[in-house]
Amino acid sequence: PTGLDPRMTSRQITFEADVQGITPMLKLATVTIPGRDAAYSFTCDEGPTLGGMGSAPTPLAYFTASIAF
């Protein structure tokens, strides 16, 4: 892409995640990128058959979507 230094041969990308358990299956994750003023929060939950409330996507749903991205 325009502006990309052609001499660059590697880069390091770091994310930090803080996860809080709201209920046994409901989790709230906040992901930050060190050095940037960006933070993203999202929740995950399991369905009732696994002891959750089904109130948010499952961890596997997030994982599946990440492959498509």
Q: What is the pLDDT of residues 11-67, one digit of tens each?
A: 888 999 999 999 999 999 999 999 888 899 999 999 999 999 999 999 999 999 999
Give first-to-last CA distance, the chain, whole Å: 19
Cα separation, 45 vs 1, in Å, equals: 38
User: Could you count the other beta carbons within 10 Å of the beta carbon of residue 65?
Assistant: 10
Question: At residue 6, does pLDDT exceed 90?
Answer: no
